[in-house]
């Protein structure tokens, strides 16, 4: 596998990362995960714009343009012959003796990248999943895609220990997002989701779903809702780069709607598939629409 580090494409044993990297010591950095379908980058521009925004929000200059970052991602996927999976990119504030404040002199950030083979989660897309509500103990800048993920790690672990695939963060009684995803509910034909503010990461998949809803003339309400309201939704799903549109059939063991992925969720999944070139060319999207499955 070929890795990227600060301008160079290297083998793993050449990576040589420092214990004094501020990412390692403090989680002082930002990251992105970009999906690759059939060897083609998906929504890379949006992910790289968000990487630059996240870096700005933590006052970390990023000496790369979107074009340069796209080239790095492209070369990584070509070198590693990635077909379906993702590219991980991470930027930290650099290497300096451990002290909380920013280093006094300008030090270059450390940017690394690699590829991960990751097939589509076909079983979950088709059958639906379970979520567990968890108190949101994270900081108040969840809009930044920061390396600090301890709150997310603990929440996900708790969900898994309860045989659920994903955690559902609740703060001040309001449903926020998943541990690594955004969430949507459908009630009486209306799509509900949390507004894009500091309490959630404005997911790229979230934006794709909102665009699809607009195209399909599905009404959308971007407003917080309670856990009780979530449980009373007709349909529920979470979205992320790797999870795509994953139906949720139970929350805290309680059935959502009919307890199976609902018709509007299926419609959104079909439209999502329809804009992925790989699936369109394979003729899968049409087929999926007709038989109601997302595998």
Site for ligand PMP contains 87 (CB under 6 A): no
| Helix segments in 11-80, DSSP class H | 22-26, 44-57, 66-79
Report if residue 30 touches ligand PMP, rule: CB under 6 A.
no
Contact assessment for residue 116 and residue 88, using Cβ atoms and an 8 Å cutoff: yes
In this complex, which beta carbon is closest to ligand PMP, that of residue 76 or of residue 180? Answer: 180
Q: Does 165 bind ligand PMP (CB under 6 A)?
A: no
Q: Which of 86, 120, 194, 206 binds ligand PMP (CB under 6 A)?
A: 206
Nearer to ligand PMP, 92 or 241 (CB): 241
Binding flags for ligand PMP, 123-162, as an x/- string (CB under 6 A): -----------------------------x----------
- CA-based Rg of the chain, rounded to a whole angstrom? 20
Should residue 241 be labelled a site residue for ligand PMP when binding is judged by CB under 6 A? yes
Residue of 239, 246, 269, 270 that binds ligand PMP (CB under 6 A): 239
Q: CB–CB of 226/173 below 8 Å?
A: yes
Closer to ligand PMP by CB, 80 or 205: give it. Answer: 205
Total site size for ligand PMP, rule CB under 6 A: 14
DSSP string, 184-238: EEEETTEEEE--SSTTS---HHHHHHHHHHHHTT--EEE---BHHHHHT-SEEEE
182 binds ligand PMP (CB under 6 A): yes
Q: Which is the catalytic residue, given 35, 145, 156, 214?
A: 145
Task: Pick out residues in 245-264 that bind ligand PMP (CB under 6 A).
Answer: none
82 C-beta neighbours (distance < 10 Å), count: 20
Q: Scanning the structure block, which residue is given the tokens 């709607």? A: 257
Report the residue from 203, 257, 261, 262 that binds ligand PMP according to the rule CB under 6 A: 203
| Helix extents (H) in the chain | 22-26, 44-57, 66-79, 122-127, 150-161, 204-215, 227-231, 263-274, 277-281, 284-291
What separation in angstroms does the CA of 38 have from each of 78, 118, 212?
11, 12, 22
Q: Which of 110, 204, 256, 276 binds ligand PMP (CB under 6 A)?
A: 204
Question: Under the criterion CB under 6 A, does residue 54 sit at the interface with ligand PMP?
Answer: no
Structure tokens at 291: 């038989």
E strand or H helix at 283, and its extent? none
* 201 near ligand PMP (CB under 6 A): yes
**Residue whose CB is less far from ligand PMP, 144 or 285:** 144
Q: Is residue 145 among the annotated active site residues?
A: yes
How many CA atoms lie within 13 Å of 179's alpha carbon, on the beta-carbon side? 22
Q: How far is the CB of 55 from ligand PMP (least distance, A)?
A: 16
Interface residue with ligand PMP among 92, 133, 205, 270 (CB under 6 A) is 205
Between the CA of residue 246 and those of 184, 185, 192, 238, what are the distances in Å? 10, 12, 15, 5
* Interface residue list for ligand PMP (CB under 6 A): 33, 152, 177, 180-182, 201, 203-206, 239-241
Q: Active-site residues: which are they?
A: 145
């Amino acid at each position: 596998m070929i890795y990227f580090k600060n301008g160079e494409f290297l083998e793993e044993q050449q990576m040589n990362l420092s214990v004094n990297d501020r990412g390692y010591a403090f989680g002082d950095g930002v990251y992105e995960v970009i999906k690759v379908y059939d060897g083609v980058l998906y929504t890379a521009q949006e992910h790289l714009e968000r990487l630059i925004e996240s870096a700005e929000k933590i006052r970390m200059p990023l000496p790369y343009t979107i074009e340069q970052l796209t080239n790095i991602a492209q070369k990584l996927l070509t070198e590693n012959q990635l077909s379906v999976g993702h590219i991980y990119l991470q930027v930290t504030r650099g290497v300096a003796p451990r002290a909380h404040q920013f280093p006094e002199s300008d030090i270059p950030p450390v940017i690394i990248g690699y590829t991960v083979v990751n097939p589509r989660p076909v079983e979950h897309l088709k059958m639906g999943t379970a979520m567990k509500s968890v108190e949101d103990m994270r900081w108040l800048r969840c809009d930044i895609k920061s390396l600090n993920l301890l709150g997310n790690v603990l929440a996900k672990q708790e969900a898994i220990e309860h045989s659920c695939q994903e955690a559902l963060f609740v703060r001040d009684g309001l449903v926020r997002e998943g541990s690594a995803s955004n969430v949507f509910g459908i009630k009486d034909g209306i799509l509900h989701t949390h507004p894009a503010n500091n309490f959630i990461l404005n997911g790229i998949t979230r934006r794709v779903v909102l665009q699809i809803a607009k195209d399909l003339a599905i009404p959308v309400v971007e407003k917080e809702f309670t856990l009780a309201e979530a449980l009373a939704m007709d349909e529920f799903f979470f979205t992320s780069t790797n999870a795509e549109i994953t139906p949720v059939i139970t929350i805290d063991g309680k059935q959502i709607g009919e307890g199976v992925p609902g018709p509007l969720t299926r419609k959104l999944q079909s439209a999502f598939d329809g804009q992925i070139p790989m699936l369109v060319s394979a003729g899968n999207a049409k087929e999926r629409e007709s038989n109601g499955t997302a595998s």
